[in-house]
Amino acid sequence: MIAIPAIDLRGGACVQLVGGSYAHERIRLPDAVRVAREWLDVGFERLHVVDLDAAMGCGTNAPIIDAILREDGARVQVGGGVRSAERIEQLLAAGASEVVVGTRALEDEEWLADQASRYPGTLMVATDVRAGQLAVRGWTETIDRDLLDTVGSLSALPLAGLLVTAVDVEGQMRGPALSLIESIVRASSVPVIASGGITTLDDLRALARLGVAAAVVGMALYTGTLNPRDVAEEFGA
């Protein structure tokens, strides 16, 4: 399993939210490109970049994403408001290694199947979970679909993986939702990338034991609760 630092973009800055709430922003760093370079310099080989403004439909951080993608040595998966074939193509052309799709992927099965067949092994589907339900549109709404049934149907597609964010524990540094992640790993035949609540090296080790392919880490790295060099040494590649 590898650990991947999260770079969440809002209003041009790198931010971290508590509990998925846009009203509870705890971290704000003005130079997101510099943040990306610092994570690479520490020893991480992959980055997870999310355009929160695009996810909410209230703006874009596309120029910053493009700048991060130009950083040498970066393997970057990008998501947030990716709801068109054109945007997928733009991100891949700009250098994204994987593209994360969420809202439209969950609401338009034909579109997702078509895009997955066009870009096999390249798309990740964000299966964000709030209170046991799939969350969409920047975690502001939920949809009425059975979670594990959805995971099973997504597994039939040639995806790069499922990005599972436990929104309820996101940014709270109380530990990951292990039972949720375990149930999804068991139901999925594609790699699972876990996110939300990761606080300690033991949390990362527990996720690795569950068979998680990668873990996206945010708040604990930005606050220094987790030593970035220790994480990169054990889970950086």
Mean per-residue pLDDT pooled into runs of 10, the chain (237 residues): 97 86 84 97 96 92 97 92 96 97 94 98 93 80 89 97 83 81 96 95 98 96 96 92
| Residue ranges of domains in the chain, CATH in brackets | 2-235 (3.20.20.70)
| Cβ atoms of 213 and 181 closer than 8 Å | no
Question: Which member of 53, 128, 168, 203 is catalytic?
Answer: 128
The torsion angles phi and psi of 132, rounded to 5 degrees, stand at: 80, 0
The CA–CA distances, whole Å, from 34 to 30, 31, 49, 66, 180 equal 9, 5, 13, 13, 34
Query: From the centroid of its chain, how far is CA 35?
Result: 17
Q: What is the pLDDT of residue 132?
A: 82
Which sign does the torsion angle of CA 65, 66, 67, 73 carry?
Answer: positive
128 catalytically annotated? yes
8 catalytically annotated? yes
Question: Which member of 8, 51, 168, 203 is catalytic?
Answer: 8
Q: What torsion, rounded to 10 degrees, do the Cα atoms 85, 86, 92, 94 define?
A: -170
